A and B are shown apart, each in its own frame.
Chain A
Amino acid sequence: MDCGIIAIAAKPKTFKVKLGTVIKESLKRLEYRGYDSVGFAVITIGRELIVRKSKGMIDAVSRKIGFDFFDGIVGIGHTRWATHGAPSDVNAHPHTDCEGRIAVAHNGIIENYLEIKEALIQRGHKFTSDTDTEVVPHLIEEFKKLGLSSYDAFKKAISMLRGAYAIVAIDIDEPDKVFFAKMTSPLVIGFADKANFIASDIPAFLNYTRRILVVKDGELGYITHQEIRLELLKEYRSIGDWSLKVPQTKIIDYSKRVRFIDWTPEMAIKAGYPHFMLKEIHEQPQALSQTLAGIHDDVVKVLPIVTKAEKVIIMGAGTSYHASLLGSLLLNNVGGLWSHAIISSEALWYMKSITDRDVVIAVSQSGETIDTLLAVREAKKRGALVIALSNVVDSAIPRESDLTIYTKAGPEIGVAATKTFTTQVATLSYLAIKVGQARGLLKESEANEMLHWLKNTPELVSRVISIHEARIRSLARRLMNKHSAFYLGRGIGLPVSMEGALKLKEVAYIHAEAYPAGESKHGPIALVEEEFPVIFTILGRIDADLLKSNIEEMNARYAWTIGVVPKNIEELIKLLKEPIRMPVMNEYIAPIVYIVPYQLLAYYTAVTRGYDPDKPRNLAKTVTVV
C-alpha cells in the first residue's frame, strides 16, 4: 500500500495550534503518497482516544473530520492509497481494536493477514473493515489481554506479521508513547524540541525539525516527547503462538545515524504556483544547475567500473524508464558501450544473461520503487555491480546498491515527474560523455562541445519556459478537446516523445501513443484522420531529413501536426501546422531541453480540462506495490 503516515508525541502546548492541526498540515505534505482517504487518532490530555476518518482528499474532508478541534499528547495520521478494501470511511485508517483503546496506522501490505484474522475471529475479535491493517490493533489487544504490557504486546504482534509495513500505534494505557515498526515500507523519525515525529517521508515534519533518522528494516520501538527507543527485532513468531514469551530484540544506539537535512521547508511548498507540477517545471533550471554542479565527483566514482563493463543494463519504471532509454542510447552512441534499457517490472526476464562482468544502473526518483528494488536484488544475486541513480538520499535502492549517484533536484511532490526526469537525463548524459572519453571513442573537441551544451541546459530550459509558456497554454486549449494523440520521434528523440505521451496520459487523461516515426506507417497511421493531433520531436539535422516525409504523410491525412523543432530547420517549420521553435543545440544533449514543451503542454491541457495535475487519478508518486 502506498500511503502516508505521520505520528507525533509532544509535550502539551508545544505547538501554537492544536495537535490535530499539526497532523493535518503534515498529512497535506504527504498527500502525494495517496489521497483516497484520510484519518487521524489522538490521545487527549484527559486520556481519551479519539479516532476520526473519512473517504476523500484532505482539503475536502478537513471540516467534516475536524482536525482543528482535537488536541492531545500523542497523535497519528494517515492518508491512504487503497489496495486491500475499496476507498471508504470504514476502510480509512487509523484502525482500532474491539474496545477502541488502541489505534494503528499502516503503510504496506501484510501478506498473512487473512490467517491472523481467522485466528483472531476464533478468539472472539470483531472486525469492521476489509483492510489488512485491522489485524494489528486486535493482535496487540489479544496479547495485552493475555497479560503482556503494551510495548511487549506490540513487539509480539509485529513479530507475527509477514510482508511490507511501516506501522505506528498508540495505546490509551501508555498515553505518552507512539509505537512504531518498519519492514520494507519507508519510515523516518524527526527530532524536535519538546516533540518527536515519525513519518513516511521527510517533508511531513520539515516545518518543525531537520534532524532526522531513517528507520531500517526490522527495527521497532517507540517515541515519547523526550525519548526515542530503537530496537532490532531478532525473532519472528508464527501465528498461533499465544504464549507470553516476548520476542528477543537488540537495543540500537542510533546517535551516529542522525542526519541533518538541508532543504528548507519552502522547497516543499508550492510557493507562487497553483500546482506543484508547474512549480517543478519552473524549477528545472535550478535543479539542473545543482545536479550539474556536483555531478563530477559522483560520476568519477563509478566511471572506472562502467568503462570496463561488458554491457550496461539500465532499469527504471515510468518516467525513469524513459530516462533509462536515453541513457542507454547515449552510452551506445557516445560511450561506445553495449547498453540496453529495461522496464523494471520486466527486468526479471532478462536476468539470466547477466553476469558479474555487467553493470546495472537502477534509476528511481524515490529510490523506493518496488519493481526496481526487486530487480536490483536479482541483479546482485547474479553478481552484477549495481549503481543507483536516485533523488532521495538513503532510500531503499541506494542502500541496497553498490554505488549511488544522486540527482539534486530537491523534493518532487507532483505525481508527474518533471525535474527529476531532466536531472536524471543530465546525469546519464554526463556519464556517457565521460565513458566515451575514457574509452577513447569521443574526440576531446566533441566531448567538450557536448559538455558545453550540458552546462548550458539550465539557461536554455529557462528560456524555453518563458518564451513558450503562453503559446503552449493556447495550444492546450485546442488539444483539450481531443481524445487521442500521437507522439512521433526517431532515435534520441523517441524517448522524448514517449515521455511527452506519458505526461499527457497521466495528467490530462488523453490517450497518447508514442511511436518510432518510421514505424508509424506500419500500423498506427491507420488511426489518423482529420484534425488528429500528431506531435513530432525533431532534435536537429540528425533526424530532420527522415522526419520530413513522416510529417508530410500526416499532413496528407489532414492531421493536426505539432512539432518541437530547432528554429533553424526552416523546411520543417513550414510543413508543421504548429511549430514550437526551439534553440539549436547538440542533438545528444537536446532531450533535456526539448522535453520541456511537452511537460507544459500536459500541464496546461490538464488544467484547461479542469483536472488537478498534482493528483492524477489512480496514480501514486512512489509505487511500492508490485
Chain B
Amino acid sequence: MEAVVLAGGAGKGLKVITGGKPKTLIPIAGKCVIEYVMNVLLRNNISNVILVTDRPSDFEDITIKYGRRIKFDIRRQKGVEVIGAILTAEDELSRGAILFYGDTIIDADALRMLINTYLEFNEPVILVVPEEDVRLYGAVRVSDEGMVRGIIEKPKEVLEGYYAYGGIAVLNKELIELIRSFNSLDEAINDYVNRGGKVRAAIWGGLWIDIGYPWNLLEAIYHVLNELRESRISSRAKISSKAVIEGPVIIEDGAFIDHNAIIRGPAYIGKDVMIGANAFIRPYTSIELESSVGSYVELVWSSIQPYATIGRASFLGYSVVGPKAVIEPFVYTKLLIEPEKTGIKAIREYKRRREYFKIGSFIGYKARVKSYLTLEPGTLIS
C-alpha cells in the first residue's frame, strides 16, 4: 500500500510557536512530528509515501533521513486547506492509498487495524477516537454495526455520542469525486453515506494526539518520554561530575551540563544544549537542539524548542517556548487555573485528594519576555 501524508502548513493553533514553519516539523524529544508518522508507516511496511505540502523545501532533511527506507514523492499542494491537499493526490487516494494527516501521533497498531479493516471489507474506512470534547477535531457518528452515519467537520458544541475524527482514512474514487464537487470533506462523506454508501469506522482507544495546539505538544512529550525505559547519555556530552541525573534521560551529543544541575527523568536534553549550574530540570521536559538554560532555572513538563534561551533563575512549567525565543532572567509562570471559569484548556492532575488544573505560558517564535515578569496561566506571547 501507499500513503498520502498531509504535511501541510503552520496551522492556526500553532502559528505563533512555529513562526510559519509547518507544524509537522516541530521537534518532540529530538524527533519531528512527521518522523513519528514515518515510523508508524514503516512499522506497517508502507514504504511509498506521497508527501503533500506547500513548502516542499522544508522537508529535505526528512527525505534524506528516511530516503533509504521510504520512496518519497513530494508534491506542492494545489489549492487551500485540507481539501486542496487531498485533491493534490486524488489519483492515489481514489485507488485506496492511506490518507494520513501528518500532525497525528498514534501507535502503529492503530494503522494496522485500519488497514486490516480496509483489506477485509474493501470499503472506505476512517479512524475514530472516543474523545470527550470533539469540538477541536470533527465529530463522527457511528452506528451499532460500526458504520459511519455522518460527520461534522467543525462542531460548535460538545456532542454526546460522537467520536473524534482520527485523521487517518482510506477513501475511494466516488468519495474523492464528491469531495471535489462539494469542496468539503464532511459534506462529501455525509452525502455518500446518505445515499447508501458504506464507510466503516475503525474505533481506536489507544494513544492518539492531534498536534493542533501548544498543549498537544505537552501531551505528546508525556507519551513519548513515558516510553523511555533506560537512560541514553552520549559519550560526547560534557556532564559535570557534580550534576545529578535520575530516571530515564536522553542526553545527546555536545550537551553541556554544569555543576549541581539536577535532571530528573523522564527528560530529553538535545544536541549542543547548555544547562547552567544549579538548574533543576523536572520530569517531562524536552529541551531541543542548541537551546540554553541559565543557572538556577527550574523547568517542569515543558517543551523548549530549538535555539531558545532561558535566562537565569526563571521558572517555567507546563509551557512551550518557541524556537529562538529569549526568556530574560527571573521570569515566572503561574500554573493553577480554573478552566471552567476561564475556558482555557489545561492539564488535569490529582494530588492530595484535590483535582488541579495546570497550564503555563506559550512563548512564540523569536519572542522576547522581559525580566521579572510573572506570566498568568495560558498566556500567549508572540
Task: Please list the residues of chain A having a beta carbon within 8 angstroms of any beta carbon in chain B.
Answer: 266, 269-274, 278, 282, 285-286, 458, 462-463, 466-467, 469-474, 478, 530-531, 558, 603-604, 607-608
Contact = CB atoms under 8 A, between A and B. Distances in A.
B350 A478 contact: yes
A458 B116 CA distance: 28
B329 to A, nearest CB: 37
Contact of A470 (B116, B132, B352): B132
B146 A470 contact: no
A530 B353 CA distance: 6
B160 A271 contact: no
A313 B206 CA distance: 42
Contact of B117 (A272, A463, A472, A478): A272
B203 A531 contact: no
Given A273-B146, A463-B161, A471 B132 contact: yes
B328 interface: no
Given A274-B109, A278-B203, A470 B163 contact: yes
Contacts of A462: 144
Contact of B206 (A285, A286, A474, A607): A607
Nearest to A461: B144
A607 B131 CA distance: 15
What 10 A-B pairs come out closest when comparing CB atoms?
Answer: A466-B161, A470-B130, A469-B130, A470-B132, A272-B146, A558-B353, A285-B144, A272-B117, A272-B202, A530-B353
Nearest to A558: B353
B113 interface: yes
Given A272-B113, A273-B203, A286-B145, 9 more contacts: A271-B116, A271-B200, A274-B203, A278-B203, A467-B161, A478-B350, A530-B352, A531-B350, A607-B205
26 contacts: A266-B120, A266-B121, A270-B113, A271-B116, A271-B120, A271-B146, A271-B200, A272-B113, A272-B200, A274-B109, A274-B203, A278-B203, A282-B144, A458-B144, A466-B160, A466-B161, A469-B130, A469-B163, A470-B132, A470-B134, A470-B164, A473-B131, A530-B353, A531-B350, A603-B205, A607-B206
A278 B125 contact: no
A607 B113 CA distance: 15
B140 to A, nearest CB: 11
B142 interface: yes
Interface in B129-156: 130-132, 134, 142, 144-146
A324 B204 CA distance: 33
B206 A282 contact: no
B110 interface: yes
Contacts of B205: 274, 278, 469, 473, 603-604, 607
B350 A474 contact: no
A611 to B, nearest CB: 11
Main secondary structure of the interface of A (DSSP, over half): helix
A470 B202 CA distance: 15
B201 interface: yes
A274 B132 contact: no
Interface residues of B, number: 31
A266 B160 CA distance: 30
Contacts of A458: 144
A474 B132 CA distance: 8
Q: Which of B117, B160, B162, B205 has the most CB of A within 10 A?
A: B205
Contacts of B164: 470
Interface in B314-331: none
Interface in B328-369: 350, 352-353
A603 B130 CA distance: 13
A288 to B, nearest CB: 10
A162 B93 CA distance: 61
Contacts of B131: 470, 473
Interface of B: 109-110, 113, 116-117, 120-121, 125, 130-132, 134, 142, 144-146, 160-164, 200-206, 350, 352-353
A174 to B, nearest CB: 38
Contacts of B130: 469-470, 472-473
B109 to A, nearest CB: 6
B339 to A, nearest CB: 14
Nearest to A559: B353
Contacts of B203: 272-274, 278, 282
Contacts of A474: 132
B201 A272 contact: yes
B204 A274 contact: yes
A485 to B, nearest CB: 15
A274 B127 CA distance: 11
Contacts of B201: 272
A478 B348 CA distance: 10
A497 B97 CA distance: 46
B64 to A, nearest CB: 30
Nearest to B201: A272
A277 to B, nearest CB: 11
B198 to A, nearest CB: 12
A286 B145 CA distance: 8
Nearest to A463: B161
Nearest to B204: A274
A473 B203 CA distance: 12
Q: Which of B144, B164, B352 has the most CB of A within 10 A?
A: B144
Contacts of A473: 130-132, 205
Contacts of B120: 266, 269, 271
B2 to A, nearest CB: 22
Contacts of A469: 130, 163, 205
A473 B353 CA distance: 21
Q: Which of B110, B134, B200, B350 has the most CB of A within 10 A?
A: B350
A192 B10 CA distance: 57
B348 to A, nearest CB: 8
Nearest to B162: A466
Given A274-B203, A478-B350, A282 B110 contact: no
B193 to A, nearest CB: 15
B160 A273 contact: no
Contacts of B353: 530-531, 558
B167 to A, nearest CB: 16
Contacts of A270: 113
Contacts of B204: 274
Contacts of B132: 470-471, 473-474
A466 B139 CA distance: 12
A270 B144 CA distance: 14
Q: Which of B146, B161, B162 has the most CB of A within 10 A?
A: B161
Contacts of A286: 144-145
A73 B160 CA distance: 55
Contacts of B163: 469-470
Given A463-B161, A473-B205, A273 B144 contact: no
Contact of A271 (B117, B144, B162): B117
A233 to B, nearest CB: 42
Nearest to A471: B132
Contacts of A271: 116-117, 120-121, 146, 200
A273 B202 contact: yes
Contacts of B113: 270, 272-274
A184 B109 CA distance: 38
Contacts of B109: 274
Contacts of A470: 130-132, 134, 163-164
Nearest to A612: B109
Q: Which of A269, A466, A558 has the most CB of B within 10 A?
A: A466
A474 B121 CA distance: 31
A274 B110 contact: yes
A603 B204 CA distance: 12
A16 to B, nearest CB: 15
A446 to B, nearest CB: 29
B206 A274 contact: yes
Contacts of A603: 205
B294 to A, nearest CB: 34
Nearest to B203: A273
Q: Which of B113, B130, B206, B350 has the most CB of A within 10 A?
A: B130
Nearest to A530: B353
